[in-house]
């Protein structure tokens, strides 16, 4: 999609379309900035996972953190997905969108006691636990409710996923998971707690991973550990391989989803662990290239060293460039045939020097043009904020030749509706 060759986002007579709807029409109808998602792209990405899992002992849990819109969650729930959450708020979204608690895995390094209680009462599938103190807290909450909490431990295999340091999660220096050298002893501790039921093992090594080999390296270490844990008398029913599969933002060449899933499942079977259920927790690879962020050029500002295209979307609408120096392809919604391109930094209106969406982009544009920031289906709205008291844009889902508002645009008055001034 980032090269505009995806069937969901494509040009028709020089105008970008989302499925059967002109992006220019969407911009006029719903205003700017605007998040636009494709139902077709979301469906195809999910089915690529589901088809590869068919007939295998495998389950897909969509990672809510990548895109938590109720329409997106509901679409995946209709297709049979489970979910991976990292907060009680995300659990509430899953339930509101028609997902099932019993198909939901609760991950995250900092679950509160209140969140544990809520998740236990509603009956989540499993807690992915990341420390001994968290085990003790969960055991106490479960005891207070007269329940046994199903748990797996997130094990940190110290495998380099070869990704950006801010989205690497499987190294010794990362905050996530139980250190590999401590994992067996931590499992013994969990097994001794009366209100915990050990059922699985979890591993997540990072995000935007474009090679299969780090997964296989991590799997080998995890499966070795499984054999040791079972020698200690505990039964590991599932292996959670996490998510993290990358997408094409620019020129990356991640493995095909089906190839990725099949390779991991085959590897687990070859290691003699085919009787265990395998959990996949995709996020970015489900939703990333299923969305764009539309933004209007407010001003073209020539500079002594740089030319700036100042647009109405900012770092509060798409944080990834400022946060990770991430690349998103930026294309005009309406192509100007024969127009000479100039090199611009595409920047927003937020009062920060870090408020940029793309640097050194060759664009043939004029003031008032609409641009599409590609690959914005993941970690765009989900990471957005109201910095500078900026209302967040609407979210639109395109389904064929129809466009549905799946989240209304915020209004400024909503942003301070819960605030108050001191009494006289």
The 3-state DSSP class for residue 29 equals helix
Of 161, 179, 164, 162, the closest CA to residue 215 belongs to 161
CB 32 within 8 A of CB 290: no
Q: Decide if 351 is catalytic.
A: yes
Question: How far apart are the C-alpha atoms of 322 and 371, rounded to whole Å?
Answer: 19
146 among the known binding-site residues?
no
407, β-bridge pairs: 395
Q: How many CB atoms lie within 10 A of CB 351?
A: 9
How buried is 13 (Cβ within 10 angstroms: 0-12 exposed, 13-18 middle, 19+ buried)?
A: exposed
Of 151, 131, 163, 136, the closest CA to residue 240 belongs to 151
Of 138, 135, 134, 136, the closest CA to residue 117 belongs to 138
Per the residue annotation, which of 53, 203, 351, 374 is the catalytic one? 351
395 among the known binding-site residues?
no
188 among the known binding-site residues?
no
CB 278 within 8 A of CB 243: no
324 among the known binding-site residues?
yes
Give CA torsion, residues 174, 276, 258, 210, to 10 deg.
20
281 among the known binding-site residues?
yes
283 among the known binding-site residues?
yes
Q: How many CB atoms lie within 10 A of CB 230?
A: 12
33 among the known binding-site residues?
no
379 among the known binding-site residues?
yes
Q: Which residues are catalytic?
A: 351
Residue stretches of the annotated binding site for pyridoxal 5'-phosphate: 244, 281-284, 379
Residue stretches of the annotated binding site for substrate: 284, 320, 324, 352, 379
Residue stretches of the annotated binding site: 244, 281-284, 320, 324, 352, 379
């Amino acid at each position: 999609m980032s090269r505009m060759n995806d069937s969901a986002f494509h040009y028709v007579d020089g105008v970008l379309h989302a499925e059967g709807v002109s992006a220019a029409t969407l911009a006029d109808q719903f205003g700017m900035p605007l998040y636009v998602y494709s139902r077709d792209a979301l469906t195809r990405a999910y089915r690529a996972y589901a088809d590869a899992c068919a007939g295998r002992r495998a389950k897909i849990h969509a990672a809510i953190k990548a895109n938590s819109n109720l329409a997106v969650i509901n679409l995946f729930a209709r297709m049979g997905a489970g979910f991976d959450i990292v907060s009680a708020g995300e659990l509430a979204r899953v339930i509101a969108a028609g997902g099932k608690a019993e198909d939901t895995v609760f991950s995250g390094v900092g679950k509160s006691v209140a969140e544990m209680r809520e998740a236990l009462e509603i009956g989540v599938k499993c807690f992915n636990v990341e420390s001994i103190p968290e085990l003790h807290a969960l055991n106490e909450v479960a005891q207070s409710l007269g329940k046994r909490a199903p748990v797996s431990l997130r094990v940190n295999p110290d495998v380099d996923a070869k990704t950006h340091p801010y989205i690497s999660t499987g190294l010794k220096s990362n905050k996530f998971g139980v250190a590999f050298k401590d994992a067996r002893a931590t499992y013994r501790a969990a097994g001794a707690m009366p209100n915990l039921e050990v059922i699985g093992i979890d591993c997540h090594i990072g995000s935007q991973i474009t090679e299969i080999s780090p997964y296989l390296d991590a799997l080998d270490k995890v499966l070795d550990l499984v054999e040791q844990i079972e020698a200690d008398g505990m039964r590991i029913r599932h292996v959670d391989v996490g998510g993290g599969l990358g997408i094409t933002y620019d020129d990356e060449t991640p493995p095909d989803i089906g190839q990725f899933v099949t390779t991991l499942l085959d590897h687990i079977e070859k290691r003699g662990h085919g009787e265990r259920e395998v959990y996949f927790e995709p996020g970015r690879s489900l939703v990333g290239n299923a969305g764009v962020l539309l933004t209007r050029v407010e001003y073209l500002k020539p500079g002594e060293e740089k030319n700036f295209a100042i647009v109405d979307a900012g770092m509060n609408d798409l944080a990834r460039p400022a946060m990770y120096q991430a690349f998103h392809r930026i294309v005009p919604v309406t192509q100007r045939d024969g127009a000479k391109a100039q090199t611009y930094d595409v920047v927003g209106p937020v009062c920060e020097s870090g408020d940029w969406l793309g640097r050194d982009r060759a664009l043939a544009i004029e003031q008032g043009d609409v641009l599409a920031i590609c690959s914005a289906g993941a970690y765009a709205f989900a990471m957005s904020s109201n910095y500078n008291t900026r209302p967040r844009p609407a979210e639109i889902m395109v389904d064929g030749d129809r466009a549905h508002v799946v989240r209304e645009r915020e209004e400024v008055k909503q942003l301070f509706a819960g605030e108050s001034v001191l009494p006289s």
